Amino acid sequence: FFFQAEDGIRDKLVTGVQTCALPIFRRRASLAIPGTSIPGLHGRGLRFEVHPVPLGHSRVYVHTGREFNLASWLAGLKAGRSFVTTGPMLFATVNGKLPGEQLNREPSGAGELVLEVESVSMRPGVRVEILVNGRVYESVVPDLVQTREGAWRGGLQRRIPVHESLWVAVRSVETQPDGRRRFAHTAPWFCSVGGRPVTPRREQVEYFCALMEDELHRNRPLLEPVALEEFAQALKFNRGLLAVAK
């Protein structure tokens, strides 16, 4: 899945995309690229002139299993067993599986997916959104109980019918007293029906085509041809998706 990155990507062996909080709400969701699975990252650097927030304000949490070391953390991150957050904690499974799992189905028995979600936040104003193929499938204000530590905990379970290949993700939004929002967002689960890829959404393919065109125009006086070629390749790739988008 892809959120507009906070920093440019120059490494051809990209294993994740750093996310920025604002574009997540501007774009509502993400573009599913057929044949790809890129986990989301989140980190707070020292670029206070860009986003003046404290170090550690945004984080990525990874399920490592029994072992907690660098190797297991990186393996869990690469597999997508993670969520990014600027505040709330968000735990979820689909059919008992952690985020990043591939849940294959045959066309004759697509059935449904069972989603279980647990949200923990500092304040009670929390909304949980279920995303299916980049659209908000359902928005829920869960019943919350306050823990002994003062946090607010709530959960929900939903059944999602499967009629075509899809991906599912969950996000929670915690509204602050000043109106600002903190969020958490899981990596996606992927469900392939009959081995077919997820069909990308035309509106989002067109968005990324326009974005690459703008980047080429803006950077042509500034960047070397080898750097501009990256934008050109991305534009060509996204234009190719228009043939299968809907």
Asked whether 128 and 153 are in contact (CB, 8 A), the reply is no
- Count how many residues are written for the chain: 246
pLDDT value of residue 47: 46
221 Cβ contact partners less than 8 Å away, ≥ 6 residues apart? none
What integer is the mean pLDDT of 151-170?
94
Whole-prediction pTM: 0.76
Instruction: Give residue 66's pLDDT band: very low, low, confident or very high (50, 70, 90).
Output: confident
Q: How far apart are alpha carbons 97 and 43 in whole angstroms?
A: 25
Instruction: Give residue 63's pLDDT band: very low, low, confident or very high (50, 70, 90).
Output: very high
Q: How far is CA 87 from CA 56, 77, 93, 193, 222, in A?
A: 10, 19, 20, 35, 37
Residue 46 has pLDDT above 60, yes or no: no
Categorise residue 214: left if φ over 0, alpha if ψ from -120 to 50, beta otherwise: alpha
Q: How far is CA 113 from CA 16, 94, 129, in A?
A: 26, 6, 16
pLDDT value of residue 5: 33
Residue 27 has pLDDT above 80, yes or no: no
Instruction: Give residue 218's pLDDT band: very low, low, confident or very high (50, 70, 90).
Output: very high
pLDDT value of residue 37: 55
Residue 214 has pLDDT above 70, yes or no: yes
pLDDT value of residue 197: 87
Residue 4 has pLDDT above 50, yes or no: no
Instruction: Give residue 21's pLDDT band: very low, low, confident or very high (50, 70, 90).
Output: very low
Instruction: Give residue 204's pLDDT band: very low, low, confident or very high (50, 70, 90).
Output: confident
